[in-house]
Amino acid sequence: MTRNRQTEASGIVRLFIMDLSPGALILCFLLCSVAGQAPVISVEPRAATVRQGESVSLRCQVKTGAQPIQLEWTRANNNPLPDNSKIGPDGSVLTIANARPANQGQYRCMASNSAGSSTARAALNVKYAPKVRLTPAGPLRVRIGDPVSVECRATGRPNPKLTWKRQGSTLQLVTTETNNVNTIQWAVVRPEDSGVYICQAENNEGVTEGKVEITVEGGPGAPVASVSSTEMTAVEGQSVTIECQASGSPPPVITWSKLRAPLPWKHTVVGGALTLTSVGRQDSGQYICNATNIHGYSEAYTQMEVETPPYATCLPDQVRLKPGDALRLQCLAHGSHPIQFAWSRAGRASLPAGAEATNDGRLLIARVKLGDSGTYKCVATNHFGSSEALAKVVIRA
């Protein structure tokens, strides 16, 4: 499009030069000089300040220059124009509706024609009320004597001023500030430091607050929980009791839970002791005693393992083969480890010659014979009992 017009324009110029009448020469002088001139532009306003949510228009004005002139708006940082901006039909007006903080920056208008191009810039400032972020966000539970620090970061234009206060007090706390991060900190926290702390960020556009609750635990009277044993084993079907004792003032309330699982439904809690009736394999895990009072809480853990006798199965439990085939049987067993496996053949004193049994429960005969037919038995044994499983092997020519 641009290219076509350009050739058209130079065509007209040539036409006038060929016709040497004086009037045409004057016309040529005018046209030719304009035709050779790059655009001269300006942007109005050169700098604009708006509040977040307001709208603003920037106009790119052409002072002189040979037509046709093409106008293009871009961001000075080469980012794309924001999606809340629009360019008017003739390309000269850039409008930003509902301005956002991120719209702040330089905008550039570029005008080009056949003779060259030129640019002009406008700076946009977007003012907005502060936004506050606290790290960590809290609520914080800290142990007496530990160090604590909370950072308050704020954005806003103009740059907000940051202050920390304790809720219920108007006193400004002494804090350290570097690069718009204002940090409240204690090298050694005391029980009386418990409370809600407020970081306030203020600029001309508004005031914003961030709050963090800090609870200092472990003062005199804080609970200390302990369990009768930290590791226990029980055999499937038994009942198990885990005692939890807790000191503290006022006397703490004891609750029991299981790590990453609900407590077994067959449980009772009496005076802090947890009893599990007729435990099963799935009851293995970590049990947590939690002692809580107004000064804090304390957790004590018991790891409980439920031991189970084996339960064996054969894979496959039936197989048909031809003489010369390979026989492969696997004995699988659930139950507490270690588990030992033993293969035998029903009604026979020993396994066929050439049979190979492995520690992990496999039985292998590389080339079976007709006489290897029969019932094979796997016995799985651990410290708590044993279990057997059968596999029927039929060999036919």
Q: Which is nearer to ligand NAG, 217 or 283 (CB)?
A: 217
The residue at minimum Cβ distance from ligand NAG is: 290
Tell me the sheet residues that pair with 195.
214
State the minimum distance, in angstroms, from the CB of residue 251 to ligand NAG: 15
Closest approach, Cβ 150 to ligand NAG, in A, equals 19
CB 102 within 8 A of CB 128: no
Shortest Å distance, C-beta 262 to ligand NAG: 12
Q: Which is nearer to ligand NAG, 144 or 288 (CB)?
A: 288
| Positive/negative CA dihedral, 9, 11, 12, 18 | positive
> Smallest gap, in angstroms, from Cβ of residue 290 to ligand NAG?
4
Residues that bind ligand NAG (CB under 6 A): 257, 288, 290, 292, 297, 299
Q: Min. distance of Cβ 225 from ligand NAG in angstroms?
A: 10
Q: How far is CA 364 from the centre of its chain?
A: 50
Q: How far is the CB of 284 from ligand NAG (least distance, A)?
A: 18
The rounded radius of gyration (Å) of the Cα atoms in the chain is: 43
Q: How many CA atoms lie within 13 A of 261 on its CB side?
A: 10
Q: Which is nearer to ligand NAG, 175 or 292 (CB)?
A: 292
CB of 58 to ligand NAG, least distance (A): 55
Between 34 and 263, CB nearer to ligand NAG: 263
Least distance to ligand NAG, CB of residue 304, Å: 16
- The answer to whether the beta carbons of residues 41 and 117 sit under 8 Å apart is no
Among residues 209 and 299, whose Cβ is nearest to ligand NAG? 299
Query: In the complex, what is the shortest distance from the CB of residue 280 to ligand NAG, in angstroms, rounded to a whole number?
Result: 23
3-state secondary structure 9-50: HHHHHHHHHHCCCHHHHHHHHHHHHHHCCCCEEEEECCEEEE
d(CA 26, CA 22) in angstroms, rounded, equals 6
For residues 290 and 308, which CB has a smaller minimum distance to ligand NAG in the complex?
290
Rank residues 29 and 301 by Cβ distance to ligand NAG and give the closer one. 301
Indicate the residue among 148 and 300 with the shorter CB distance to ligand NAG: 300
Of 175 and 290, CB closest to ligand NAG: 290
